[in-house]
Chains A and B, each alone.
Chain A
Amino acid sequence: MSLFSLLTIAALLAALAAALLPDAARRRTPGSRAAWPTAAAVVIGTAALANALATGADVAGAALSLLIVALTVVVQAYAGRHLRGDPHARAFFVFSALAAVGATVSIGATDVVLLAGGWSLATMSMIVLIASGGAGPQTRTAVRRSGASLLIGDAALWTAAAVTTATTGSTALGALGGLDAVTAGVVSALVALAAIARAGSFPLHGWLPATAATTTPVSALLHAGFVNAGALLLLRFAAVPSAVGPWLVGLAGAITLLIASLAMLTRPDVKGRLVHSTAAQMGFMLLACALGAFGLALVHAIGHALFKASLFLGAGSALQQAVKRRMTSPPLWSRRSAAIGAATVPVAALVIVATTDTLSHDAAPLLVFALATATIAGARIGALSSTRATRAVALAGLIAAVAAYALVVFPGAEALVPVPAAAPVPPIVAIAVFVAASALTLTSRRPGPVADRLFAFAFAWARPPLPTPAPRTDLLWASASAGVPLEYRRFR
């Protein structure tokens, strides 16, 4: 483990200790005491990333590590004000710091045991964080469900670590390339399972929707810094010479992407939409990993983390936004300007792609998603009610973004994470997923029995049941604490 990782861990442990101190003065809260040590961790993380970029060392690890500590510092600052008076606030600060320690350990680890140890520390901390939503019955369901699914993943990872160590006689990650075919198949399948559980992907998808029953800051950490750890795990085990893992990961990712994105469209509640959105996005990330495009997966994981943290923290604004949307009549669509807007993007993109060698990359099929996104955005921008000049500028910006994506981000990410996958799935899988996703969009827009069936399926997808009310053995105790919200009562 590098010096930077050790320093980061030390800073995070200091934050943890600070949060544990008793509240002496009136204004000092666990959050305010933990703020400075965590901020120090961000500085160290930034230095580590700069160092990695300069020396060409593990950029992926340094970037993810910085993401985790930066998210922790922002979400802790948010929670300091959002969880005022919450009896579980201290637990939030302690275990969010511990989860960051776990993540940093597993990212910085160079051997499988340490990696699995950090991974499990993060898992345990996250389960406690989910439980900090309080004593409400839905929160308890969330704890039970996430505990069960995540522990399956952790058990798989520990088994993989044990198998590797027993076979190669070494705990070092570098020894993975030398596994024989059967063992490699087993290890890669187990690691795939761990990544799938973390990402809330099919068939271990049941836990993520239940976590809507915890506090907003926990959700922000969970969706931004926790579920995407599978990408790093798959990257670290990329050298395992077996196609079993990539195929498992690719299929799980593809299925989840398709169904969860449809389920998201049916959800009327803001957090319900966000959890299914995360599941779909993680499906995309797993698909990228399966294709061997680790650089792209990493860019996606970080971009999505920042995106989703913001959406969760701002989830309280959903109501005002819905009112605002409804109070304004929808803009008049001009088909012609929409078509012009939409057409400019693919034409420009084709020129870009034709003149460079981007297409030669294995993960190039994933570019169709970016291209489709840009085309739809182009159509909408073309149809905006702004002046023609404004629209032209916006379209130009969009084309520039496409160019930057195809020419800089895509090859750049792949160059910075030069880890070849031993056995990626064929690129045609990505094209198939794209076609299926397009078909789903078209079907959902055409009212009729097929759409109804699809709706009923998506609406029922991964919905956690309401817990059965427990028999009231605690009546006396409960009535004594009446007048306190259920969520704030003590666990029995």
Chain B
Amino acid sequence: MTTTVAPSPATIRGWVAAAGRAVSPHFPLETFIARNPVAGYENLDWDEAIGLIARDHGILLSTSEQRFRDLHARGRITSDDLRAALCFTVAEARSTRVIDVGAAVTTVGEVLAHDLLVAPPLAARSTLSTPAAALSPRVHARVDDLTGRWLAAVLGEGAWREPVRRGGTWNAWRRLAALDPSLPRRVRNGIRNSALDPAAAIGDALDRWQLDGSAAEDFIRAHVLAQPGWAALVRHRATAAGDVDLTTLVGIRITLERLLLPAGASLPTPSSTTAPTSAEDARLAAVAVAIGAHPSDPEVRIRLRPILSLVDPAARLAIWQEAYERAVARALAPARAAVLRAHETAQRPLAQAVFCIDTRSESLRRHLEAAGPVETLGFAGFFAVPIAFRPADGSGEVASCPVLLTPRVAITESSVDRDALARWRHQRTASVERGALFDEMKESTLTPYAFAETAGWVIGAATAVRTLAPEGWRALVSRGRPAKPSTHVDADVVFTLDERVLYAETALRMMGLVDDFAPVVLLCGHGATVTNNPFASSLQCGACGGHEGEPNARAAAMIFNDPETRAVLARRGITIPADTLFVAAQMDTVTDEVTVLEPWTIPATHETVVLELADHLEAARTANAAERSASLPGAGNASGARRNTERRAADWAEAYPEWGLVGNAAFIVGPRAMTAGVDLGRRAFLHSYDAAADPDGTGLETILTAPMIVAQWINAQYAASTVAPDRFGAGPKPLHNVVGTVGVLSGYGGDLRIGLPWQSVGVGRDARHEPVRLQVFVQAPLARVNTIVDTSEVVRTLVAHRWITLRARDHDAARWMRWGRYGWQTDDLDTTDDLDLALGREEPTTKEPRS
């Protein structure tokens, strides 16, 4: 190569930032945020993205074609669905024109259908390679190892971390790595003499390898993606704390690589790949044999080649994925009513209960409705109050709202019972101090020996009890604690009247609850009680930023019960009757127990209603626990299900406390009436919506741009952790090794594991989660949906690039229309009913133009 002008540090930083988009930021494990680990690819069509991810990451972020074929052979994917998916994806396949291919007579659709079944599958192989990976895999592993250890030391919490923190990450690394006795002297000197700025150090390496332009960008990209977990964490850390950035990570990696590789080594010239043509040949031959033609006949090849060029290997996966999803969409699509459903004016229900849209609410809602005259609604579990929360026990503030939002105000929990509050606080302080004492004793060069010798006997007894009788241990521990005093939150003070009205009206209009209020409206957040589980926050409420929903439910109930707020709401057309009480509650998703959070605020007038509601909740709990625990590994018989769930919550050995949001597949927006009584198997996010209550459509816009996006994140996270457990999942729990509060390693080192553990998506060698893209069903005027898709870039991107499937209908009796490439088109979801023929209302392919 000729000498080129060295890129400036700013250019290099730009390249690093661009390379960083190949992984989404990873939130520290204490606030696990489920999201698409490769969100940076969402501006591409799904299949294009799968192809590019295969080349960048070297993995297939989709169910493999062999597995799809297996599912087809077993009947999970029917031939009809496969055919329909093919016609949906490839317009030419719809043609019925007969073509001659050698001895065989066939159609384009048939050729492609055979192609789906016999073509050699897409082999995911990274085309990016670092110099070390190309020259010496041993050095590559060493670079991974040293970088990973260093980042763990910087981002984790070792007892002695002052040397690592002093002077910033890059400087500390240069100072300490130059002293590392495990490195050769030449390397240590090189580190000592490396550039003072990591970008300049990257420049030095580019110079060393004579790389420029796109080759330099690929080189940086290869280094970012060598350990995607650390890169993802550093991306988050760079914005949250700013003490380390991706440039530093890449700088460390390539400086080590430059120094560890022999001084005279030069990059191998990239070998010209002849593989694609041979793969094409194999595919052609396989398809020719499948349709009964002779594979070596040149005529056959000439005929087949243009047909096969309609579909590339990644597009084939898109067809399979579409076929796979059709059965799920059919099963979960709300049915079509024979006639337009009249607005219900039945008896006033005992209560209305608002649950989080979380898929786990679905079955409890179903059982609660069956247990008594209770209506249920679905709404994002933070109840539209974006807050930070300061608990009464004196622990720090936590942001309790979706990560899409930043809380502007903090709500404080306090109590008028000062003595009890002091005892409660002291209990926490004392426990933290005991923990600190324990840590200091066990982590020192002097004290651990006599300490282990004496403390061990007590701790050993506790270990035996905890293991052999987990619930007994929990009861024992809680008996020793002072009772939590009656507390209240100050949501009525920190929010102005305008804000309170705004939050209240938004929430009520979004969920369509504007009239017919029941005497009690239960606002039910959720949390999960688990023990000894680093992934606890992945089971908490995603709408509350990976925390339990308790503070938000309490703040929201307080706002709704506020007389001033109600007065303004009434002027704005929403009259909450004076006898309606909003009650905050929380559902424990492990035990299904619903706890009223502020029982001391229930007035005598509502006591009987609340008690009656509690009875129904108990019945629903029993039924739901039985239904849920049947699918958990190690389940007993149904009669012991409740105790079993309590044991799981308390057990420090339990790897499967609950199934979380496993199986999530659909996001259904509309009145509960359209899904009521149907067993959706905890596979759907249910958001209540009534187009009539939301005249200007802003409610729907919020639903599709906020809760739906969060649901898509969750859906993409579960899918990625299932199909690529080694790269985008955290692997089996028993191997986890917690690093600080940021994440886990599988073993003593290596890459930080991102995503969900295998125990969240599968059992043993079998996946439990079905990786399907989010199927969105919206019951609202199509014109309104059009407007939102057109104005919201994030929604349009997901829909147009087929990361989600959007279906809508105007009302109960209309058929589902699907957003296709050229506008709304009919779907075959409800072909089973013959209503169309009876009414003579055969739909054209395109019903309504976009906007």
- Real binding pair: yes
CB within 8 Å of B: which residues of A?
A: 27, 29, 70, 74, 77-87, 133-134, 136, 138-139, 142, 209-210, 212-217, 258, 261-262, 264-273, 275, 277, 280-281, 284, 299-300, 302-311, 313-328, 330-331, 369-370, 372-374, 376-377, 380-381, 384-386, 401, 405, 434, 437-438, 440-441, 444, 447, 451-453, 455-457, 459-460, 463-469, 475, 479-488
Interface residues on B, range: 35 or more
Q: How far is the CA of A88 from the CA of B737 in the complex (A)?
A: 19
A217-B734 in contact given A265-B160, A444-B160, A487-B746 (Cβ < 8 Å): yes
Q: Roughly how many angstroms separate A306 CA and B461 CA in the complex, as a whole number? A: 8
> Smallest distance from the beta carbon of A361 to chain B beta carbons, Å?
16
* Segment 717-742 of B: residues with Cβ below 8 Å from A: 722-726, 729, 731-741
Surface stretch bound by A, among B6-14, B139-147, B401-409, B795-803: B139-147
CB contacts (< 8 Å) of A464 on chain B: these are 748-749
Docked Cα-Cα span, A488 to B767, in Å, equals: 12
Binding site for A on B (CB under 8 A): 29-30, 60, 63-64, 66-67, 121, 123-124, 137-138, 140-142, 144-145, 148-149, 152-153, 155-164, 166, 175-177, 179-182, 394-396, 426, 428-430, 432-433, 435-437, 439-457, 459-464, 467-468, 531-534, 536, 633-634, 636, 651-656, 722-726, 729, 731-741, 745-750, 758-759, 762-765, 767
Choose one: B176, B447, B633; the contact of A373 (CB below 8 Å): B447
Quick one: given A313-B652, A381-B437, are A483 and B722 in contact (CB under 8 Å)?
yes
Q: A380-B437, A460-B180 are in contact. Are A309 and B460 (CB under 8 A)?
A: yes
State the majority secondary structure of interface residues on A: helix
Q: Which residues of B contact A275 (CB under 8 A)?
A: 748
A369 and B158 alpha carbons, distance in the complex (Å): 24
**Across the interface, which residues of B come within 8 angstroms of A466, CB to CB?**
141-142, 144-145, 148, 749-750
Q: Are B652 and A268 in contact (CB under 8 A)?
A: no
Complex contact B436–A323 (CB within 8 A): no
The 6 closest A-B pairs by CB, nearest first: A268-B156, A306-B460, A213-B747, A307-B456, A138-B747, A303-B456
Residue with the highest number of chain B CB atoms closer than 10 Å, among A269, A272, A331:
A269
Given A323-B30, A456-B179, A466-B148, 15 further pairs, Cβ under 8 A: A27-B636, A78-B652, A82-B654, A133-B747, A212-B737, A213-B746, A261-B445, A303-B453, A318-B738, A326-B741, A373-B449, A441-B446, A444-B160, A455-B163, A467-B141
* A417 CB, nearest partner CB in chain B, Å: 15
| CB-contact partner of A84 in B179, B429, B656, under 8 A | B656
Q: Which residue of B lies closest to A442 (CB)?
A: B445
List 29 A-B residue pairs with CB atoms under 8 Å apart, sorted by A's residue number.
Answer: A74-B468, A82-B653, A83-B655, A85-B633, A85-B656, A85-B759, A133-B734, A134-B732, A261-B445, A268-B161, A271-B737, A300-B453, A305-B460, A306-B459, A315-B737, A317-B652, A331-B429, A373-B441, A373-B449, A373-B450, A373-B451, A384-B430, A438-B446, A455-B163, A464-B749, A479-B123, A485-B758, A486-B725, A487-B732
Nearest chain A CB to B788 CB, angstrom units: 35
Given known contacts A210-B748, A306-B463, A486 and B726 CB-to-CB distance under 8 angstroms: yes
In the complex, are the beta carbons of A463 and B749 less than 8 A apart? yes
A19→B426 CA distance, assembly (Å) = 48
A369 near B653 with CB under 8 A, answer: no
Query: Given A81-B651, A441-B446, do A487 and B634 touch, yes or no (CB 8 Å)?
Result: no
Inside 8 A of B430's CB, which chain A residues have their CB?
Answer: 384-386
Question: Are A316 and B163 in contact (CB-based, < 8 A)?
Answer: no
CB distance from B576 to the nearest CB of A (A): 37
Given contacts A437-B446, A447-B162, A485-B758, contact A268 B740 (CB under 8 A): yes
Distance in angstroms between the alpha carbons of A385 and B430 in the assembled complex: 8
With beta carbons under 8 angstroms apart, the residue of A81, A272, A324 that contacts B395 is: A324
When chains A and B are docked, how far (Å) is the Cα of A314 from the Cα of B140? 34
**Are B456 and A304 neighbours in the complex by a CB distance under 8 Å?**
yes
Whether A369 pairs with B449 at a CB distance below 8 angstroms is yes
Report chain A residues within 8 Å CB of B463.
Answer: 74, 306, 309-310, 313
In Å, the complex CA distance between A29 and B636 comes to 12
Residues of A within 8 A of B66 (CB): 479-480
Q: Considering the chains assembled together, what is the distance between the CA atoms of A208 and B164 in angstroms?
A: 25
Which residues from B are CB-within-8-Å of A305?
456, 460
Minimum CB distance partner of A258 in chain B? B445
**Are A86 and B456 closer than 8 Å at their CB atoms?**
no
Contact of A78 (CB < 8 Å), options: B163, B164, B467, B733: B467
| Contact present for A316 and B532 (CB under 8 Å) | yes
Instruction: Report the separation of the CA atoms of residues A429 and B393 in the bound assembly, to the nearest whole angstrom.
Output: 49
Please indicate the chain A residues that have their CB under 8 angstroms from the CB of B652 in the complex: 78, 313-314, 316-317
Please tell me if the beta carbons of B746 and A82 are within 8 angstroms of each other in the complex: no
Is there contact, CB below 8 Å, between B141 and A468?
Answer: yes
A328 to B432: give the CA distance in the assembly, Å.
8
A455 pairs with B176, CB closer than 8 A? yes
A302 CA to B455 CA, complexed, in Å: 11
Contact with A385, one of B152, B166, B429, B459 (Cβ below 8 angstroms): B429
Contact across chains for B452 and A316 when beta carbons are under 8 A apart: no
Cβ–Cβ contact B735 & A215, under 8 A: yes
From A209, A216, A270, A405, B454 is in contact (CB under 8 Å) with: A405
Output the least CB separation between B551 and chain A (Å).
15
Enumerate chain A residues within 8 angstroms of B428, measured Cβ to Cβ.
Answer: 328
Complex Cα distance A452/B732, Å?
A: 36
A459 touches B153 (CB 8 A): yes
A313 touches B429 (CB 8 A): no
In the bound complex, do residue A316 and residue B446 qualify as a contact, i.e. CB atoms below 8 Å apart?
Answer: no
> CA separation between A270 and B426, bound complex, in Å?
28
Residues of B within 8 A of A457 (CB): 179, 181
A269-B745, A466-B145, A488-B765 known; A456 vs B176 contact (CB < 8 Å):
yes
Q: Is the CB of B446 within 8 A of A372?
A: yes
Residues A269 and B738 in contact, CB atoms below 8 Å apart? yes
User: Which residues of the other chain, A, contact B30 by a CB distance below 8 angstroms?
Assistant: 319, 323
**Looking across the interface, which residue of chain A has its beta carbon closest to that of B453?**
A303
Nearest CB on A from B128, distance (A): 15
Looking at the complex, which one of B435, B452, B536, B736 makes contact with A324 (CB distance below 8 Å)? B435
Instruction: Specify which chain A residues have a CB less than 8 angstroms from the CB of B633 in the assembled complex.
Output: 84-85
Most B CB atoms within 10 A — which of A213, A307, A311, A385?
A: A307
Check B737 against A324 for contact (C-beta < 8 Å): no
Once the chains are docked, how many angstroms separate the CA of A321 from the CA of B157? 11
Q: Which residues of A contact B758 (CB under 8 A)?
A: 485, 488
- Residue of A302, A452, A482 near B163 (CB, 8 A) is A452
**Are the C-beta atoms of B725 and A304 separated by less than 8 Å?**
no
Give bound CA distance, A368 to B188, whole Å. Answer: 40
B63: which A residues are within 8 A, CB to CB?
Answer: 483
CA distance A305 to B654 in the complex (A): 22
- Please give the distance in Å from A146's CB to the nearest CB on chain B: 12
A87's contact among B166, B536, B741, B764, by CB below 8 Å, is which? B764
| Distance in angstroms between the alpha carbons of A299 and B450 in the assembled complex | 10
Residue of B nearest to A476 (CB): B123
**Chain B residues with CB under 8 A of A309:** 460, 463
Tell me which residues across on chain B come within 8 A of A434, comparing CB atoms.
Answer: 446
User: A165 to nearest B CB, angstroms?
Assistant: 36
Q: When A269-B738, A455-B176 are in contact, do A316 and B447 touch as well, CB less than 8 Å?
A: no
- Supposing A324-B432, A325-B432 touch, asked if A437 and B748 sit within 8 A by C-beta, the answer is no
B182 and A460 contact, CB distance less than 8 A: yes
Is the beta-carbon distance between B467 and A313 smaller than 8 angstroms? yes
Tell me if A485 and B748 are in contact (CB < 8 A). Answer: no
The chain A residue with its CB closest to the CB of B654 is A81
Closest A residue to B152 using CB positions: A268
Select one of A209, A277, A370, A468 contacting B748, CB under 8 A.
A209
Interchain CB contact (< 8 A) of B453 among A264, A299, A460 = A299
CB A412 to nearest CB in B, in angstroms, measures 13
Which among A74, A212, A272, A302 is the interface contact of B467 at CB below 8 angstroms? A74
Residues of A within 8 A of B762 (CB): 85
A303-B452, A327-B395, A455-B160 given; A270·B738 CB < 8 A: yes
Measured between alpha carbons, how far is A455 from B153 in the docked complex, in Å? 11
> Which residues of chain A have C-beta atoms less than 8 A from B426's C-beta?
385-386
